[in-house]
Structure 1
Amino acid sequence: MKRFIDTLKNIFSIEELRTRILNTLLFITIFRLGSFVVLPGIEPDRMNFSAQGLLGLLDTFLGGAFSKASIFALGIMPYISASIAIQLLTMALPYFQKMQKEGESGRKKLNQITRVLTIIVTFAQGITYLKTTVPDEALLVSRSIFTVSSVFILIAGTMFCMWLGERITDKGVGNGISMLIMIGIVSRFPGAIYQEFASRGSSQILIFVLELVALYFVIMGAVMLTQAVRRVPIQYAKQVVGNRAIGGGQRQYLPLKVNAAGVMPIIFAQALMFVPSLVASLFAETSDFASNVATIFATYTTWQYNVLFGVLIIVFTFFYTAISVNPQQIADDMKRGGGFIPGIKPGQQTSDYISTVLDRITFPGAIMLAIVAILPALASLVGMTSSFAQFFGGTSLLIMVGVVLDTLQQIESYLLMRRYEGLMKSGRIKGRTESIAV
């Protein structure tokens, strides 16, 4: 306890770090207050929102702003969608690849394109959201006036959330966009614990305590999955500059992450899981089989749903790892820097070796990611409330763990720069954004 108090004193004794933490808390407070401001022209008590499937996941990310018809109802999600689209285009189209290699000017152009695409995505999602989520009985004005005004308000709200995220990144602690998503998720955690405690009652207090212990071990498992790496040794040859030999015999490591895809496979798989139920419901009136399929895949606790969900996660893990980690580029960078893997020739053989290692570690990583994704369904089956079960795995847990690790890593860097002790005795904290040492 004394070490913890001393660490807090060291953190707030650094003026820059103290200012950044206070700025982060201020921006987060503004974001949370905005999520309670309802769109004008609507009666929120008449909303009949059903938090199921992908819509329920969005409501979790946005801290309930989606179901409240808030001015931040879409939050930062359109920006996330636009960023993913630009990232995929960067990997597929030479025009975007060239722009990415132009340095700071290219990065500014990509950011500008992402912002414009964010407005377009918000416009499309806003119209769909208002049409499908807000019923006529909840409106205080005509539908046309409400739609036109609310679309502009939703676009402004999304751009303001994006601005808050950028300000947190520049003047706060951690990655601002990820921080806003995490805050939305964490904001529902106290209520979920209370609901679970109330459902168990005083007669089942021991079961409630065991559930909290199980949650602790699940979080530790998610931390292990997030930080697990396969370290490939790299040897650097001697370089002669003038009459001096420099860099001789240096050995570093290439950290290949077991879960290089992060939470993206779960998000992609979750987005597709409504398709079987949607397609089957079209033929439900004429086919008993289609009716059964629609019923099975409309519930996330059925074994058929979770088997398909797990398979999709495994497939998307390999797909996203393949497009996000380029063994050929890593091998070329190592060759230009005078580095090589002991026993492996530089160039194509190094690329093939890295690809083989990636395939071997991605499969167990994909299996573990699939298990984490279906844990909420298992928790619901054993009697937990759905709100509390969502914190036992899935996207919510991985996002929270990743953001907390990134933030703690940045705080620890400030402490070590000022010659203070780090946050951990056993070693430095590793976040998701750790660069590859080549």
Structure 2
Amino acid sequence: MLSAFMQAFKTPDLRRKLLFTLGIMALFRLGSVLPTPGVSLANVQKCMSQQNQEDPGLLNLIDIFSGGALLQLSVFALGIMPYITASIIIQLLRVVIPRFEDLHKEGQSGTAKLTEYTRYLTIGLGVLQSSAIVATASTQRPFGMTQCPDPLVPNASAPAMALMIVTMTAGTGLIMWLGELITDRGIGNGMSLLIFTSIVARMPRNLLSIFGGAGAAKFFAVVAIILVATIAVVFIEQATRRIPVQYAKRMVGRRQYGGSTTYIPIKINTAGVIPVIFASSILSMPQLFAQFSNSNAGWVQWIANNLRQTDTFYLVAYGLLILFFTFFYTAITFNPEEIADNMKKYGGFIPGIRAGEPTVRYLSYVINRVTVAGSVYLVILALLPTIAVLWLGLSASLPFGGTTILIMVGVGLQTVKEINSQLQQRHYEGFLS
């Protein structure tokens, strides 16, 4: 592996791509610690050192994807979350708006148009989210923390808050551009690598906090849990259900085409991390609304008593929502009718299955059975951090949730595969050789 790493840096164009990617990632981290104009950095650090957030909820989820930039109110406070949300919304709208589905089928030109819509929606969501964050930061208990000794935003005038909203929204647009630069000129998927950077940036601080607060024994227990979860994620994410496809022989002029055998790979976790994000967001919304409401109201008290991450009701609802969104998102992204039509168009068939409707039924049967295993896997992975916290008796959550482990492993594997393919194109042994 070390020799492959050295070969990657000895190859001029590959070295240029790797250095460009690392440079963009460093620039992203710089923006994550650069404070937004109008924010008192000293007051933020003082408040963060005294905070005691028992149930961060949605804000903690956003903070994970921003690498800790949200709770520091930096220029990149929103992180990559608006782009992720916009991408998911555009994908879901394909089911509702026929025009979007037609664009998806047009190929590269249609995909470019959908990407343009995603960018516009990202900026719109950035304005909404930055407005909510600025409004929350200007309160006496920002982000559900204990009351801060000094205000995070000393000057809460309309022009100052408007400047903060514009700055954070511009930061979101810049992050989107940086991610696209990595995709075009660097190595790997830019947006995924920026999320990976945000998650890894939090690792040393969170592990040290557990080591200092819970002791060495629990620290090594947490490390062991993370390693076991990582190995399990690698194993399952690499696993696929292969459906064999045979292409009939056909003569075109004097040439013979077809006659080959291939397969349709179906991943066990087809939906990826999307169901976990959806479920976390939905369960965290009531907590967010409760922070801006009268604390004596009955529904606010019910949310406070039943929607904490360690409550039985929360865990059951969380698991059921993940199951639902796994099947829902898989049904959107995997279309058996489209696959069956493409196979029929090019003379392909599944051995023992007739073309047309029987193929559609067979593919639906297989994807449903695979999705059952994938959804159970996601539920276990998502609930693992909370179960580990209860078992170990920790006062804080694990530095890696199921979502973060899934993202880290998935992005890492995909990036290594791309570097490996680049090396093999130049007749070098890759990382996985």
- Give TM-score scaled by structure 2 length: 0.90
Give the aligned partner of residue 411 of structure 2. 403
Q: Partner amino acid for 1:110?
A: L
Per the TM alignment, residue 348 of structure 1 is displaced from its structure 2 partner at its CA by: 1.2
Q: Partner amino acid for 1:423?
A: F
**2:262 counterpart (234, 248, 252):** 252
Q: Residue 276 of structure 2 contacts residue 382 of structure 2 at CA under 8 Å; is this kept in 1?
A: yes
Segments of 5+ residues of structure 1 without an aligned counterpart are: 426-438
**2:126 counterpart (117, 122, 126):** 122
Aligned equivalents of 1:343, 1:135: Cα separation in 2: 66
Residue 11 in structure 1 maps to residue 8 in structure 2? yes
Mapping of residues 21-420 of structure 1, within 5 Å: 21-47=18-44, 48=47, 50=53, 52-135=56-139, 137-201=151-215, 205-248=216-259, 250-274=260-284, 285=296, 293-383=302-392, 385=394, 389-391=398-400, 393-420=401-428
Greater shift after overlay, 354-363 or 237-246?
237-246
Number of aligned residue pairs: give it.
415
Aligned equivalents of 1:46, 1:207: Cα separation in 2: 32
Give the aligned partner of residue 147 of structure 2. none
Aligned equivalents of 2:300, 2:74: Cα separation in 1: 35
Give the aligned partner of residue 145 of structure 2. none
Describe the shift of the 1:113–1:383 C-alpha distance in structure 2 as closer, same or farther (beyond 3 A): same
Give the aligned partner of residue 428 of structure 1. none
Q: Partner amino acid for 1:77?
A: M
Per the TM alignment, residue 275 of structure 1 is displaced from its structure 2 partner at its CA by: 5.0
RMSD: 2.3
Describe the shift of the 1:85–1:291 C-alpha distance in structure 2 as closer, same or farther (beyond 3 A): closer
Greater shift after overlay, 377-386 or 6-15?
377-386
Aligned equivalents of 1:268, 1:206: Cα separation in 2: 34
**Deviations for 1:376-395, whole angstroms, at most 9, x for unmatched residues?**
1012112365666141x421
Aligned equivalents of 1:36, 1:284: Cα separation in 2: 33
Q: Residue 222 of structure 2 contacts residue 398 of structure 2 at CA under 8 Å; is this kept in 1?
A: no
Aligned equivalents of 1:216, 1:372: Cα separation in 2: 13
**Deviations for 1:235-262, whole angstroms, at most 9, x for unmatched residues?**
11112122332322x2111111111000
2:264 match: secondary structure: strand
Describe the shift of the 1:208–1:152 C-alpha distance in structure 2 as closer, same or farther (beyond 3 A): closer
Q: Residue 187 of structure 2 contacts residue 418 of structure 2 at CA under 8 Å; is this kept in 1?
A: yes
Aligned equivalents of 1:118, 1:18: Cα separation in 2: 32
Describe the shift of the 1:107–1:294 C-alpha distance in structure 2 as closer, same or farther (beyond 3 A): closer
**Deviations for 1:282-304, whole angstroms, at most 9, x for unmatched residues?**
898576xx677423434202222
**Deviations for 1:31-54, whole angstroms, at most 9, x for unmatched residues?**
001111111122133345747001
Segments of 5+ residues of structure 2 without an aligned counterpart are: 141-150
**Deviations for 1:206-225, whole angstroms, at most 9, x for unmatched residues?**
55334323321110111122
